[in-house]
Amino acid sequence: MDHEGPLICPRCRQTGPGPTCFEDGAWLVTRRVLLETGRDSNLGSLVAGRYGIVERLGVGGMGAVYKAVDTRDGRFVALKFLREQYARHPSIRQRFIREAEAALAVESPYVVPLVDFG
Q: How far apart are CA 100 and CA 42, in angstroms?
A: 21
What is the reported pLDDT for 70? Answer: 93
112 domain residue, yes or no: no
| Side chain identity, residue 70 | D
Domain of 25 in residue numbering reads as: 7-82
| Side chain identity, residue 25 | G
pLDDT per residue as tens digits for the range 101-116: 998 899 999 988 888 8
74 domain residue, yes or no: yes
Backbone angles phi, psi at 62, to 5 degrees: -95, -20
15 domain residue, yes or no: yes
Give me the CATH number covering residue 34: 3.30.200
Q: Nearest Cα to 60, choosing from 39, 89, 82? A: 82
pLDDT per residue as tens digits for the range 11-46: 888 998 888 998 888 889 888 888 887 778 899 999
Q: How far apart are CA 79 and CA 56, in angstroms?
A: 9
102 domain residue, yes or no: no
91 domain residue, yes or no: no
76 domain residue, yes or no: yes
CA quadruple 50, 51, 52, 55: dihedral, nearest 10: 180
Strand order through the sheet with 76-82: 46-47, 51-59, 63-70, 76-82
Q: At 52, which helix (H) or strand (E)?
A: strand 51-59
Q: Nearest Cα to 79, choosing from 41, 109, 117, 106? A: 117
pLDDT per residue as tens digits for the range 52-96: 999 999 999 888 999 999 999 999 999 999 988 898 999 999 998
89 domain residue, yes or no: no
Q: What domain count does the chain have?
A: 1
1 domain residue, yes or no: no
